[in-house]
Amino acid sequence: MVSIKSASEIAKMAEAGKIAAHALNVVGEKLRPGMTTLDIDKIVHREITSHGGEPNFLHLYGFPGSACVSVNEEVIHGIPGGRKLREGDIVSVDLGARYKGWNSDTCYTFAVGEIAPEVKKLLEDTEASLYKAIEAAQVGARIGDISHTVEVYCRERGYGIVQNYCGHGIGREVHEDPEVPNHGKAGHGMRLAEGMTICIEPMINLVGDDVHTLPNGWTVVTDSGSYSAHFEHMVHITANGPVILTKR
Ligand code: MG
């Protein structure tokens, strides 16, 4: 079921969004080669809890970290641990906060030092596809308009699009209806209405669409072994256009 949020509920979600965005900002400031993915997780936990939130990924479906920290060929659900970041790596940090019972969810893929030009372009294009898709999230538009926007933008640039995972509604639960895929037909799917809150999150591969899950049961990696980027915002659908609640 899709829930429509009241103004006071949106205010709490906006606060949850702010806390999550702040945590991502601090990760961006502290990120250095030599750090482990667990170091990032600790920063996320500290920044969310010290700002009045709870890390809502922790124990969600049994996930062991406060953030999903996915390096290079890891697409999503990287488990924080001993993997050390090296110059030239990229790292996707996906996190969310719960504030007074309301959730946020956001992701950014950071470059660790200098990265290869084609990888830099992958990050820029994936982020640009997110902002294009957000523009499509207007009252009266359909979910398929968002999906199609991501698909066209990324296909035109020759990238692979992860199809097995998608964006989602959000509110009291981290994952609510509707699903928001990164590929689809314009003019199809649920119509967007004022008061909906959705997470739009393109997961885009440098090479090929296909992914698989590692034996740890969580971490999704590209079949090609090549890089994957992931950018996500939580968006409030309003009569005056989409409002990003996780703006950094
Ligand atoms: Mg999400």
Which tens digit of pLDDT belongs to each residue from 197-238?
999 999 999 999 999 999 999 999 999 999 999 999 999 999
Which amino acid, one-letter code, is at 22? H
Q: Give distance in angstroms: CA of 120 to centre of ligand 1.
A: 22
Q: What is the pLDDT of residue 1?
A: 80
For ligand 1, the distance from its centroid to the CA atom of residue 96, given in whole angstroms, is: 8
Is residue 72 scored above 90 in pLDDT? yes
Q: Give the orientation angle of helix 7-30 with respect to helix 37-49, to 10 degrees.
A: 140
How many whole angstroms from 57 Cα to the centroid of ligand 1? Answer: 10
How close is the Cα of 1 to the center of ligand 1, in Å? 17
21-38 mean pLDDT: 98
156 Cα–ligand 1 center, Å: 24
**How confident is the model over 168-175, as a mean pLDDT?**
98
Do residues 92 and 68 make contact, with C-beta atoms less than 8 angstroms apart? yes
Give residue 85's pLDDT.
98
CA of 21 to the centre of ligand 1 (A): 14
- Which domain does 120 fall in, by range? 7-244
Cα–Cα distances in Å, from 136 out to 65, 131, 208, 219? Answer: 33, 9, 25, 30
Q: How far is the CA of 133 from the centre of ligand 1 (A)?
A: 15
Between 11 and 1, the more confident residue is 11
Give pLDDT, residue 71: 98
- Residue 1 within any structural domain of the chain: no
Structural domain contains residue 2? no
Q: Residue 42 is part of a domain; what is its CATH number?
A: 3.90.230.10
| DSSP reduced 3-state for 183 | coil
Distance 207 CA to ligand 1 centre (A): 22
* Distance from Cα 199 to the centre of ligand 1, integer Å: 6
Ligand 1 centroid from CA 232, angstroms: 7
Rounded to whole angstroms, the Cα distance separating 159 from 121 reads 11
Q: Is 42 domain-assigned?
A: yes
Identify whether 125 is part of a domain.
yes
Could you tell me which residues come within 8 angstroms of residue 46 by beta carbon, excluding any fewer than 6 positions away?
none
Cα(230) to centroid of ligand 1, in Å? 10
CA of 168 to the centre of ligand 1 (A): 6
Reply yes or no on whether the pLDDT at 172 is more than 90.
yes
Task: Report the share of the chain in percent with pLDDT over 90.
Answer: 100
Average pLDDT of the chain, as a whole number: 98
How many domains, the chain? Answer: 1
pTM: 0.98
Return the structure tokens found at 88. Answer: 């030239």
| Ligand 1 midpoint to CA 134 (Å) | 14
State in Å: Cα 192 to ligand 1 middle.
18
Q: Residue 171: inside a domain, yes or no?
A: yes
